[in-house]
Each structure stands twice: as C-alpha cells, then as structure tokens.
Amino acid sequence: MMKIIRAAAGLLLTVSVLNSAFGQASWQPSRPIKMVVPFGPGASTDTVARFVAAKLSQRIGQQVVVENKVGAGGIIGTKFVASQPPDGYTLLFQSSPYMTAPLLGKTQAYDPTKDLQPVGMIGAAPFMIVTSAEMNVNNLREFIDLAKTQPMSYGSAGIGTFNHLGGELFNRLASLKLLHVPYTGLGPAINDFFGGRTQMLVASLPAALPHIRTGKMKALAVTGAQRSPLLPDLPTMAEAGVPGYQLESWWGVLGPNGLPTPILTRLSEELNAILNMPETKEMLARDGAMPRPGSPDDFAKAIAAEVPRWRRLIQEAHITSE
C-alpha cells in the first residue's frame, strides 16, 4: 500500500513540474503592453506598428498600446525602452535607423548590437535609384557613365537618412562623386528634383511609384537583393552593374535586454503568426515590403551584420548629425 502511495505522490510531483514548465513556456500577460514608437504619428513606422499592435492585442488577450516617444532620430524612445524592466510589458517598434542613429553623433546613445533584445523583424522594403524622365539615359550603367563626365547631385530627406546613406554607398561602389543635397524631408527633396536642382534620388517605393507611373521619374534599379513584385522588370543594383550594393528599410520589434525565454518565445511566435496573415502581407505590400518571419536570433544576426557596414561608410564619408 505504501508503495502505491509513494508512486502516486511521485506522479503528482511529476505532473506538477510539467505543469509548471508548460506554464513558463506559455507566458500570458496579465496587463496591457506598451509598444513604443520612437517616431511621430503618421510615419510609416507608426502606421505599421499600430497594425501589428492591433493584431497582437487580439492574439494575446491584452491590449497593446502604441505610444510615440519622439526625438533625436529615434534615440529618445529607444533609450527609454532599454531602461525598462525586461518583463514583456514595454516593447520597442523600430525601423532601420535603429542601426545608424547612434553612429551619426559624437556620443553613442546606445549600442544597437548590445543594448536591446531583438524579438522579431516584421518586414523589409527596398528603395529605388531614380532619375528624371527627361535625362537621356536608359539604364543605371548609362547614368553612371554620364555622371562621370559632368557634375551631378542627389537629394535626401536629411543628413544620415537612408536616402543619404544610400547615395553615399552608390558613390563609393560606382566610383562617383555625386554631391549630396539634404532637405528637411523627402517631399522637399522630390520638389527640387522635379525642378531640376538634383539629378538623382534614392527613393522609397511608395514615394516614387506614382511618379514612375505618370512618367515623371525614371527608375534605374531596385536596391534589394531581389527584384520587387511591384516592378518585376526593374533590375537589382547587382544586375544593373553595381555588385555589393544592398539597401533595405525594415521594421521590427525589440525589448529590454534580459527578456526571459518564455516571454521572448511567446512574442516571437505571435509575431510570426501575424506575418502569415493575408492582411499583413497586403498591408506590407502597400509599402513595397515583404514579411520577414524568423527567430529573435535571426533578427539579432541581421542587425549585427549590418551595423559594421554602416559604421564604416559613415566614418569614411565623415557623416555626422552634430
């Protein structure tokens, strides 16, 4: 009889341990989650964040509240999240400037490879190299050849933006000396481009596509590793004659360092499930983006691979926002 009692007690203990482990693996938040966007309302990062937050709210049974903490090129909001406890209740929705913003000043505000925990990439979108429809070139090679014979310039949304960094990367890989003209946003840069004051732009697909379709802009290449479904006949930079050139804008979710494995696993699984939804793919496609499901480790490796590349370019081109 005692053997039976001991066996039953051992079984109960085993079940208890298994239940505990299962509970840990299935983290369930007990209060609302704050998702910080370090840019202003209405920007593409904010729009995508609110979509993802709404879907995540439905899946985890707790409200995910988007809060904009704007300033210093995304540094203020990012540092705020880095300072929060790693309990899963404060997350950061960032974009590709996360990798470059701290590299542009004299004082590094945070280390993009160490100070936050990547949770998951949401999507990524290439840019396009565009010129005026009036320019007498038919492809990227002809533009490069022409740019080597006469002074040319390119506009950007400001110093240190990806339009700027993409232009400098083009200068280096194509052995050009295009003059950078910074503006206070892509809108003013496009206006001056149409006015003939600049000859090239590194433009996002949503900004450039309407003008390409009306014939006011001429697309020369797409900056991703693959062609864009929105313009399948447009070659990549590598196909057009500039191997090694790759430029994409991404969105992703990060959290404070030290997120426990059950929390990190649950958030990663839910984000990947959201990325598999048809409506998510449709939303990203409007920005010329593709979903990027994967693990936290995948996201961390992508950031770690990109940061040294941008650090080298920023240092060699003497780019600073200060």
Q: Which of 190, 206, 240 is the last residue of a domain?
A: 240
Same domain, 130 and 236: yes
pTM to 2 decimals?
0.88
pLDDT of residue 1: 43
Same domain, 165 and 106: no
Asked whether residue 194 is domain-assigned, the answer is yes
Task: List, as one string, the DSSP characters of 168-222.
Answer: HHHHHHHT--PEEEE-SSHHHHHHHHHTTS-SEEEEEHHHHHHHHHTTSEEEEEE
Asked whether residue 34 is domain-assigned, the answer is yes
CB proximity list for 96: less than 8 A, separation 6 or greater: 162, 248, 249, 250
Largest Cα span, the chain: 98
Asked whether residue 268 is domain-assigned, the answer is yes
Q: Which of 240, 258, 285 is the last residue of a domain?
A: 240
Tell me, what CATH number does 183's domain have? Answer: 3.40.190.10
pLDDT of residue 109: 84
Tell me, what CATH number does 76's domain have? Answer: 3.40.190.150
Asked whether residue 10 is domain-assigned, the answer is no
Per-residue CA distances from 128 to 34, 111, 233, 246 (Å): 34, 29, 13, 11
Same domain, 116 and 171: no
pLDDT of residue 210: 94
Q: How many domains are there within the chain? A: 2
CB proximity list for 166: less than 8 A, separation 6 or greater: 127, 202, 223, 247
Asked whether residue 17 is domain-assigned, the answer is no
pLDDT of residue 321: 79
Q: Which domain holds residue 45?
A: 30-125+249-316
pLDDT of residue 18: 38
Q: Which of 240, 257, 277 is the last residue of a domain?
A: 240
pLDDT of residue 48: 96
Which stretches of the chain drop beneath a pLDDT of 50?
A: 1-24
